[in-house]
Amino acid sequence: MKDTCVTMTLPVFDTLKKVFGFQSFRPNQEEIIRNILERKDVFAVMPTGGGKSLCYQLPARLMKGTTVVISPLISLMKDQVDAALENGISATFINSSLSPEETTSVFRRLRNNSLDLLYIAPERYAMPGFTEILKTVSISLFAIDEAHCISEWGHDFRPDYMSLSDITKTFPDTPVTAFTATATPKVQNDIIRKLGLRSPFTIRASFNRPNLYYRVESKRELKTQVLDIIRKYPGEPGIIYRTTRDSVTHMADMLKEKGIRVLPYHAGLSQEERKINQEAFNRDEVNVITATIAFGMGIDKSNVRFVIHADLPKNIEGYYQETGRAGRDGEPAECVLFFGRQDIPKIKYFIDQMPDGPERTVASDKLTQMIQYASHNVCRRRQLLGYFGEEVADKNCGTCDICTGTVEKVDVTTDAQIIMSAMSRTEQRFGIVHIIDIVTGADTRRIRELEHHKIKTYGAGKDRDKNHWRFIVDELLAQDVIHQDGDRYPILKLTEKGKHILFGKEKVSALKRQDSKKKLSSGKIRGLEQYDEALFERLRALRKTLADGQGVPPYIVFSDKTLREMCRRYPSAMPDMAGITGVGTAKLERYGRDFIKEITAYLAEHQATSIVSAQ
């Protein structure tokens, strides 16, 4: 009994440490791996960045035979194979980009039993004769990545995945595992049933991403607001999502003018252009990509430090998935939504174009939830996770604008009453601009013609500017205190809730950003432990050179997390370097000396200054 424990425990941790260079497992990884090693089927839903690849790559290294990974995108396959190779795992892929000779050579390696990992697309699995070949070689495990693609109920159904539905029958003795980042319980059951998984060990991990900081800002001077964020992360990667191709192009041009290294990405660009731009971003050749939601699937880039939504997303699923591309390396990253009420009618217009029926209602409800996310005084994390049916245990999540108090709740009942009184005294027949004109005591022709300067509320709010009153109106709309009626010239109407507030039976409060003095420093928002930033710049440059030499993206050489750890611990000999997270044996051999040399040189140059500052 004891013996089996020892032989099970040691190789698993040893491999984690030596091959991947990690000191500990992320949540659920160990249990999944142990079940796989016991040859059980596995089904796992884990968030983006949760570390799903390790769950099958580690057993692939330990088990006899080849692990076959089914993955939907060629670009993703290539990066995953590169990452495995960097860790010294023998890995390759078969897909349409290979010549017949190259494919034959992969088959040879399969037969020689010299491959730990083989990546294929589902189309390949379906090709006549392919499973026959697999049956003649030793397969340790099947790992189906992005497994939600097999379900019509999911948001990303791919008919090619259906060919996998005979996999457990065709390979009755081989464990089959399925991984995804998005599956409702309904989709989960569908996947398990379609793949015929045999009483799988099942994990539904928490969707919480503790290293992501969520905040919402009202969209005012978008250009300045976006630039402020980019400048907080000099030289570091970020994604800006926009809804239309034009706005993507416009934003990219604007940023380029400001000296930011940026490229656009949207479905209107040729396939070649999209590939080039994605690759440039992946390889840290540009820092920022401005994109429509067409961008994202198919990149595993781990060092994205911020994701900005410059327009309102249509629903929380999409929003969560897009923000999820930040901070896969587990280092702090920021997700900012610029919320402007002017974006709502555009989305509503699209929803109205949908054929009448349940789908339209669902889309409309989802939009309402998205608006609530942006406008309610509730912890952002609690709202996001709540949407997926998960509760947040902590009252204060500590990493969103609400919980860190960069926004404060202020009572706006009196201001709300001024607006609503102006509405009510003009019989709720006017729109936002006119109501604000009344409240601020504007001298317009329309006001004179309608004699609205004679009503009691005229000028009641003239000590505040129009922006303030626009803010109040937006808040009241968001909280359903008032609503807009009519499409072309919408007029403001009171809701039941509004009437209660107008007559003093209820109060209303709004979220306001605190003045800049009280704002969190970017360091606090970034939540980074201190590190030597000057050294980081040098190591990053070195990483880029080495990555280019190997023809892989820089984050595959070492993650930002790994570089930062070097910038705290200054490893100056091979054994110290081996102790850094993300430095496994293969990477130590390949890159250890170069990094030690750079760190030692840096220390020598800076010794004088550090001695002085230490005194």
Which lies closer to ligand ADP via its Cβ, residue 424 or residue 585?
585
Selection from Mg ion, ligand ADP, none that 447 binds (CB < 5 to 8 A by kind) is none
Site for Mg ion in 50-109 (CB under 5 A): 52
Query: Taking the complex as a whole, how short is the minimal distance between the CB of residue 306 and Mg ion, in angstroms?
Result: 21
Does residue number 52 form part of the binding site for ligand ADP (CB under 6 A)?
Answer: yes
DSSP secondary structure letter of residue 19: I
**Residue 26 found at the interface with ligand ADP (CB under 6 A):** yes
Report how far residue 348's alpha carbon sits from residue 367's, in angstroms, rounded to the nearest whole number.
8
The string of DSSP codes covering 150-219 is G-TTSSS--GGGGGGGGHHHHSTTS-EEEEES---HHHHHHHHHHHT-SS-EEEE-----TTEEEEEEE-
Q: Which stretch binds ligand ADP (CB under 6 A): 45-53, 129-137, 184-192, 387-395?
A: 45-53
Binding partner at 437 among ligand ADP, Mg ion, none, C-beta below 5 to 8 Å by kind: none
Which of Mg ion, ligand ADP, none does 328 bind, CB closer than 5 to 8 A by kind? ligand ADP
Distances in Å between the alpha carbon of 250 and those of 255, 346, 448? 9, 18, 41
- Binding map of ligand ADP across residues 192-231, x = CB under 6 A, - = no contact: ----------------------------------------
Alpha carbon distance 79, 47 (integer Å): 19
Binding footprint of Mg ion, residue count (CB under 5 A): 1
Closer to ligand ADP by Cβ: residue 295 or 338: 295
Query: Which of 41, 37, 35, 27 lies closest to 7 in space, CA to CA?
Result: 37
Helix 533-550 vs helix 560-569: crossing angle, to nearest 10: 130
Give the whole-angstrom CA distance, residue 415 versus residue 65. Answer: 71
What are the percentages of helix, strand and coil residues in the chain, rounded to 5?
50, 15, 35
Nearest residue (CB) to ligand ADP, 177 versus 243:
177
Closest by CA to 590, choosing from 556, 557, 541, is 557
- Looking at residue 597, its amino acid is K
Q: Using CB distances below 5 to 8 A depending on partner kind, what does residue 207 bind out of Mg ion, ligand ADP, none?
A: none
Minimum CB separation of residue 408 from ligand ADP in Å reads 35
Among 15, 19, 22, 591, binds ligand ADP (CB under 6 A): 22
For the CB of residue 12, give the shortest distance to Mg ion in the complex, in Å.
Answer: 20
For 404: left if phi > 0, alpha if psi spans -120 to 50, otherwise beta; the answer is alpha
Distance CA 608, CA 66 (A): 54
Per CB under 6 A, which region of 46-54, 239-247, 343-351, 404-412 contacts ligand ADP?
Answer: 46-54
User: Nearest-CB residue to Mg ion?
Assistant: 52
Nearest to 302 by CA among 554, 75, 550, 86: 554
Binds 292: which of Mg ion, ligand ADP, none (CB < 5-8 Å by kind)? none
Stretch that binds Mg ion, among 46-54, 152-160, 441-449, 557-565 (CB under 5 A): 46-54
Helix (H, G, I), strand (E, B) or coil at 323: helix
CA distances from 238 to 6, 406, 523 (A): 44, 22, 17
Segment near ligand ADP (CB under 6 A); pick from 47-55, 333-341, 363-371, 404-412: 47-55
Q: What is the distance between the alpha carbons of residues 51 and 334, in angstroms, rounded to a whole number?
A: 20
Burial-class residue 210 by CB neighbours within 10 Å (0-12, 13-18, 19+): middle
- When CB distances to ligand ADP are compared, the closest residue is 51
In degrees to the nearest 10, what's the CA dihedral of 321, 325, 330, 333?
-100
Among 28, 53, 151, 417, binds ligand ADP (CB under 6 A): 53
- Of 15, 28, 168, 302, which one interacts with ligand ADP (CB under 6 A)? 302
Name which position in 12, 32, 54, 143 contacts ligand ADP (CB under 6 A): 54
C-beta closer to ligand ADP: residue 54 or 385: 54
Site pattern 317..356 for ligand ADP (x: CB under 6 A): -----------xx---------------------------
Cα(444)–Cα(434) distance, integer angstroms: 9
Do 431 and 491 touch, CB atoms closer than 8 A? Answer: yes
User: Does residue 86 interact with ligand ADP by CB under 6 A?
Assistant: no
Judged by CB, which is closer to ligand ADP: 82, or 474?
A: 82
Q: What angle do CA 93, 96, 98 make, to 5 degrees?
A: 60
CB of 46 to ligand ADP, least distance (A): 5
Decide: residue 38, CB within 10 A, 0-12 exposed, 13-18 middle, 19+ buried.
exposed
Q: Choose among Mg ion, ligand ADP, none what residue 54 binds, the Cβ cut-off being 5 to 8 Å by kind.
A: ligand ADP
Q: Could you say which residues in the range 420-449 bind Mg ion, by CB under 5 A?
A: none
> How does strand 66-70 pair with strand 139-144?
parallel
Select the span of 41-49, 157-165, 268-276, 500-508 touching ligand ADP (CB under 6 A).
41-49
Q: Which of 25, 161, 306, 595 binds ligand ADP (CB under 6 A)?
A: 25
Can residue 49 be called a binding residue for ligand ADP (CB under 6 A)?
A: yes
Residues at the contact surface with ligand ADP, assessed by CB under 6 A: 22, 25-26, 29, 46, 48-54, 300, 302, 328-329, 559
Residues at the contact surface with Mg ion, assessed by CB under 5 A: 52
